[in-house]
Amino acid sequence: MPKVTIKKDNISVEVPAGTPLMKVCDDSGASILFACRSGSCLSCLVTIESGLENLSPPTEVEQVTLSSFGCQPNQRLACQATVNGDVVIE
Ligand code: FES
């Protein structure tokens, strides 16, 4: 099963492929904040240290939000991404 590591919270969990990253955060007690939960507020912005390719491609709404706020290519919205393989979040 894919392993999700959230370094700042010292969390490392294994989840079934296809699990929403938001669910991983909620279930593991991560400190990542979720306000809108729909990809528009940026509160859940995370920086991916490795495994970017193991997240689902950005949704259209995520692409718009990330580009309008000038986010980096290795940053994603945790409320929009799904886990398909190992991922390390800063
Ligand atoms: S919770 Fe608002 S963008 Fe993810």
Q: Is the separation of the CB atoms in 35 and 77 below 8 Å?
A: no
- Whether residue 35 has its Cβ less than 6 Å from ligand 1: yes
β-pairing, 3-6 with 87-89?
parallel
pLDDT, residue 37, reads: 96
Closest approach atom of ligand 1 to CA 40: 3
3-89 — its CATH code?
A: 3.10.20.30
Q: What is the mean pLDDT of each run of 10 residues along the chain (90 residues)?
A: 97 98 97 96 97 96 96 97 98
Q: Is the separation of the CB atoms in 26 and 35 below 8 Å?
A: no
- Both structure tokens of 30: 């991560």
Three-state DSSP at 87 gives strand
pTM, entire model: 0.95
Beta bridge partners of 32: none
